Structure 1
Amino acid sequence: MNPLNLPFDSEDMLTGLRPWIECESPTWDAAAVSRMMALAARDLTNAGAAVETIPGTGGFGNSIRASFPHPDRGKPGILVSGHLDTVHPVGTLEKLPFRREDGLCYGPGIQDMKGGNYVCLEAMRQILKAGLQTPLPVTFLFTPDEEAGTPSTRQLIEDEARNMRAVLVPEPAKEDGGAVIGRYAIARFDLLTRGRPSHAGWALKEGRSAIAAMARKILEIEAMTTEDCTFSVGVIHAGQWVNCVSSECRAEVLSMAKTQEDLDRGVAAMEALQAEENGVSFEVARGVTRPVWSPDHPGTLELYEIAKKISAEIGFDLSAGSAGGGSDGNFTGAMGVPTLDSIGVRGKGLHTLNEHIEIDSLTERARLAAGLLMTIT
């Protein structure tokens, strides 16, 4: 039986996906993410997999590893690598409920990347239900901390991927439905200004505001952005009392670099900002980094050619190239393991209150996943 003819049904997939979307799982809420993992573990088990729960570390939720039955189980095979954490805090469902409208379906995390993860699970479920056997053993690994840069599970992902023939990452498809075969580096930095406290009304001149100093540095940092290396400050924490000159201010920077050379220059530029001026010190600490994944690995290109042929048979052209917006594919691709990223659902608005998917893409992407799982050798 041609795997592309398996009886995928968008309505059935939406019904199965809805509990995943309504199980909110923000990265920093370990208990919530672990509840989502338990829900996914149930569905994986029902699909026929043997599921192992891996306890979380570093304050993050659990991970799960699911192995599907195969005569060569334990040998190099295919890894489906995805994350089940989202950027949306608990309570987002009140503003962004699961709902359908004009061929679209909305909900927190539905595009990034619960929809893609669920589609791959459905592909495997239908393969087994039809009595088919994938050429290679298939393992799913779902992790809890991708939106924070994967600080606690990078080693787990790399260890799992090291001996695999291929890694499939069902992150959201590109705008044109294309896949990703390389990614730019993503570096994070933690910033700290230390000032001098004083009473803001009684002795303002005696103080040195850490907030004001940080504000000036933020403008300086974001002005360093170029086409090849960007800098964006997305988090600021400071102050407890409006009548106190702030003594500390913390911020976080995300930098994207297209090449290793761009990354090295960006890191050097950030570290060079450390200084003390007018009684306020400015400190820069480098955080987690996703390495550059170059789009020229022969194994990845071969994997893309397989996917391109499958998508043509389904009825669409699958483009591919490098992209920003790091993923766990950065790690496996940089290791040299053949990796195909962004084969998940089509949609828009990820990380916003307009996050949605195209309902029809559920069937399209399930067929693509099934074709890949049944073709890669």
Structure 2
Amino acid sequence: MNPLNLPFDAEEMLTGLRPWIECESPTWDGAAVSRMMALAARDLSAIGATVETIPGRMGFGDSIRVSFPHPDQGKPGILVSGHMDTVHPIGTLEKLPFRREDGLCFGPGIMDMKGGNYVFFEAMRQITRAGWTTPLPVTFLFTPDEEVGTPATRGLIEDAARGQRAVLLPEPASPDGGAVIGRYAIARFNLLTEGRPSHAGWALREGRSAIAAMARKILEVEAMTTEDCTFSVGVIHAGQWVNCVSSECRAEALSMAKRQQDLDHGVAAMMALEGEENGVAFKVTRGVTRPVWEPQPGTMALYEIARTIAADIGFKLNCGSAGGGSDGNFTGAMGVPTLDSIGVRGKGLHTLGEHIEVASLAERAKLAAGLLMNIR
């Protein structure tokens, strides 16, 4: 009963994965994400899983919680945690169609992280087809809001992870193909400048531009970046008429630190920027935060299992901590053994060049099956 001998076929997996990629599911389109969840639910039900749809909240799409038949159902087991939302808006398929080019396959969300989610689905499909039962009960939880910091489903993920023997996240593999055993802390902020409107041509001097004030604040925010704590502004919304001095400008900022204390200092520095200058008020509101997840003995034990399986497959699985938060921040910070970034290999996530290495589908499916059949 060697899971590495299961008949994983990359071409067959691509055929099954294609409908998932062509079902576009940007985070902010709750209905689109729910359609993706329904598609995954259909595929999972077809292999004998029990699927519970959890209605979306806060404007986000549904989640699905999936369990597989097991004599110890309900006891501590393995949670596979993934997200089905992507950063790509509806219509991205016109610019980034699902296509195969030599050993690569392109498509929105194929690397982050529908490819990895599908790999674990295929692993369970082949395990079930072989008539095997995993040593521990397995649950999948697919959520709709990871790309914006998991504001709606953090509690759902933490509840699902509590008491489990292991949490596995099929996020994209690290650039060297390695796994992630810890992640840096991340905080988000909503920024607001409030100025004074006026006619931009007739009474320019009477106005106080919220846009101009925000531009100055962005430079100030990003100048706070150090080796220990970084700051960046990635979203700006303001203005409607070019002949009006803007009275309001909104922006979103992100801060990341390797240590919690550095993030705490960064948060304090950001909040201290609040105030009024030249008739324009600047306000900062804390957004969602991902706590520091530091490598722990339980996680390292999981990694050793994965490293051994990878060696049997024929590749070296390195490990390390990483930036770019995931839902592993939550489960890892809880102290639940968590292994992250064991999904597909690829490049270009969050871009119009997002792609995976086709060969990594079978490679990672073997790794997934090996983990599901060897974690006890």
Q: TM-score range by the shorter chain?
A: over 0.9
Task: Report the Cα distance in structure 2 between the residues aligned to 1:42 and 1:223, rounded to whole angstroms.
Answer: 49
Task: Report the Cα distance in structure 2 between the residues aligned to 1:253 and 1:65, rounded to whole angstroms.
Answer: 32
Paired position in structure 1 for 2:242: 242
What letter is aligned with 2:57? T
Task: Report the Cα distance in structure 2 between the residues aligned to 1:216 and 1:250, rounded to whole angstroms.
Answer: 13
Task: Report the Cα distance in structure 1 between the residues aligned to 2:163 and 2:44, rounded to whole angstroms.
Answer: 23
Task: Report the Cα distance in structure 1 between the residues aligned to 2:146 and 2:221, rounded to whole angstroms.
Answer: 25
Task: Report the Cα distance in structure 2 between the residues aligned to 1:254 and 1:11, rounded to whole angstroms.
Answer: 39
Task: Report the Cα distance in structure 2 between the residues aligned to 1:47 and 1:213, rounded to whole angstroms.
Answer: 56
What letter is aligned with 2:208? R
Q: TM-score, normalised by structure 1?
A: 0.99
Task: Report the Cα distance in structure 2 between the residues aligned to 1:127 and 1:151, rounded to whole angstroms.
Answer: 34
Paired position in structure 1 for 2:173: 173
Query: What SS is found at the alignment partner of 1:354?
Result: coil
**What displacement does 1:102 show?**
2.0
Paired position in structure 2 for 1:11: 11
Paired position in structure 2 for 1:276: 276
**What displacement does 1:163 show?**
1.4
Is 2:120 aligned against 1:120? yes
Paired position in structure 1 for 2:55: 55
Paired position in structure 1 for 2:100: 100
RMSD between aligned residues: 0.5
What letter is aligned with 1:79? L
**What displacement does 1:112 show?**
0.2
Paired position in structure 2 for 1:137: 137
Give the number of aligned pairs: 376
Question: Mean Cα displacement is larger for which, 286-295 or 220-229?
Answer: 220-229
Q: TM-score, normalised by structure 2?
A: 0.99
Gaps of 5+ in 1: none
Paired position in structure 1 for 2:361: 362
Query: What SS is found at the alignment partner of 1:193?
Result: strand
Task: Report the Cα distance in structure 1 between the residues aligned to 2:227 and 2:64, rounded to whole angstroms.
Answer: 38
**What displacement does 1:192 show?**
0.2
**Counterpart mapping for 1:58-207 below 5 A:** 58-207=58-207
1:219-267 deviation line (CA, Å, top 9, x unaligned): 1111111222111111000001100000000000011111011111110
1:315-337 deviation line (CA, Å, top 9, x unaligned): 11111110000000000000000
Task: Report the Cα distance in structure 2 between the residues aligned to 1:361 and 1:47, rounded to whole angstroms.
Answer: 23
1:160-198 deviation line (CA, Å, top 9, x unaligned): 000110000000000000000000011100000000111
What letter is aligned with 1:230? T
Paired position in structure 1 for 2:216: 216
Task: Report the Cα distance in structure 2 between the residues aligned to 1:333 and 1:47, rounded to whole angstroms.
Answer: 30
Paired position in structure 1 for 2:292: 292
Gaps of 5+ in 2: none
What letter is aligned with 1:316? F
1:81-119 deviation line (CA, Å, top 9, x unaligned): 000000000000000000010200000000000000000
1:48-79 deviation line (CA, Å, top 9, x unaligned): 10000000011000000010010001111000
Query: What SS is found at the alignment partner of 1:181?
Result: strand
1:286-307 deviation line (CA, Å, top 9, x unaligned): 1000000001x11001000000
Paired position in structure 1 for 2:39: 39
Task: Report the Cα distance in structure 1 between the residues aligned to 2:76 and 2:43, rounded to whole angstroms.
Answer: 24
**What displacement does 1:47 show?**
1.6
**What displacement does 1:156 show?**
0.3
**Percent of aligned pairs with the same amino acid:** 83
Task: Report the Cα distance in structure 1 between the residues aligned to 2:18 and 2:227, rounded to whole angstroms.
Answer: 39
Paired position in structure 2 for 1:262: 262
Paired position in structure 2 for 1:372: 371
Task: Report the Cα distance in structure 2 between the residues aligned to 1:78 and 1:264, rounded to whole angstroms.
Answer: 32
Task: Report the Cα distance in structure 2 between the residues aligned to 1:223 and 1:20, rounded to whole angstroms.
Answer: 41
**What displacement does 1:341 show?**
0.2
Query: What SS is found at the alignment partner of 1:300?
Result: helix
Is 2:30 aligned against 1:24? no
What letter is aligned with 2:124? M
Query: What SS is found at the alignment partner of 2:39?
Result: helix
Query: What SS is found at the alignment partner of 1:326?
Result: coil
Paired position in structure 2 for 1:312: 311
Moved over 3 A (4+): none
What letter is aligned with 2:86? T
Task: Report the Cα distance in structure 2 between the residues aligned to 1:193 and 1:108, rounded to whole angstroms.
Answer: 34
Task: Report the Cα distance in structure 2 between the residues aligned to 1:159 and 1:98, rounded to whole angstroms.
Answer: 35
